[in-house]
Amino acid sequence: MRYVDRGRVAPPPSLSDPDGAGARERASAEAHYRDPRAGAYKFKAYKGDDVKQALRTLFDGKCAYCESRHESTSPADIEHYRPKAGVVGEVGHRGYWWLAADWSNLLRSCISCNRVEGHRIAAVGMNAAQIAAQATRNAGKGNLFPIAAARAFQPGDDCDGEDPLLIDPTRRDPAAHLRWHVAEDLSLLAPRFDDRGADAYGERTVEIMALNRQALVEARSRHLQRLNELLLDLEEALDEAAQADPADIAGPLRRAARKLASLHAAAAPDQEFSAMARAFVEDAQQRLLARYRELIGAIGAAV
């Protein structure tokens, strides 16, 4: 999960126009919910083609939560950060229906993050065999929306004051709450810790979205293996440059530059699992600088 600036994509007209589908539906839903006995309203405005395209652009075709590219094999869900049709554990809450067509409340999600399904879920310290031996348990956002303060129940209530524990990557930088843990060549996501214990936002987000479900861990770990292969090639090129005569150093430095550029490209925001890749590259750069500082400084001149 990585931070995404929602301001870089304009709100879709069907939701932002004063007479658009979103505004008309909001007025209809408000009339519907005046009846305390009314059931859930059938919302449709958030499914507009311009909404789907805007979310695809905003999240670079990836899930907002796990950063997987899934649309070649399964459709994307339009996810309501604040659930539109009820809140698990909140008796009498009819959902944040007034935000059903609010652009700021919509995210792009894969099915496995958004829907409640059975998963084998890894914990830090497990190996692949231990993960595979886990019993499946249900996880996924569904209508979960845990908060740390007072709940908003109707239009006009203070949503900003709820202090949601689930990270919305367009509102809160996940990097401040989550850390990557690598063991047994597996890439696992964990909350950050301080002297007060586990970060509550990171902990609940990993738990609710099942961000360590088996299939996702396996996909991230395959990507991690490719990053490690690039890093090994880079180190080999730098070792060769360190041992080369001055007249022969340009070639290995050019190879090192290409490998370094490939590592940075893998961590670009539009790439799958970019937050994991960014953490990997930042850590690798620190280690490389400690060992090859002078050579890395010379790479630019050799390109």
The model's confidence at residue 303, banded by pLDDT at 50, 70 and 90, is: very low
Cα dist from 139 to 46, 191, 207, whole Å: 24, 17, 8
Residue 1 has, within 13 A of its CA and on its CB side, a CA count of 34
Question: Do residues 134 and 118 lie in contact, with contact meaning Cβ atoms separated by under 8 Å?
Answer: no
- Which residues have a Cβ under 8 Å from the Cβ of 129 and sit 6 or more positions away? none
For residue 16, give the 3-state DSSP assignment: helix
The model's confidence at residue 182, banded by pLDDT at 50, 70 and 90, is: confident
Q: Render pLDDT for 256-298 as a digit per residue (tens, 0 to 9).
A: 889 999 999 999 999 999 999 999 999 998 888 887 777 766 6
Share of the chain above pLDDT 90, in %: 79
CA distance 71 to 76: 6
CA distance 63 to 286: 29
CA distance 303 to 300: 5
- Which residues have a Cβ under 8 Å from the Cβ of 297 and sit 6 or more positions away? none
Cβ of 11: how many Cβ atoms within 10 Å? 19
Q: Render pLDDT for 45-103 as a digit per residue (tens, 0 to 9).
A: 999 999 999 999 999 999 999 999 978 777 889 999 999 999 999 999 999 999 999 99
> What's phi and psi for 206, nearest 5 deg?
-60, -40
Question: Do residues 256 and 238 lie in contact, with contact meaning Cβ atoms separated by under 8 Å?
Answer: yes
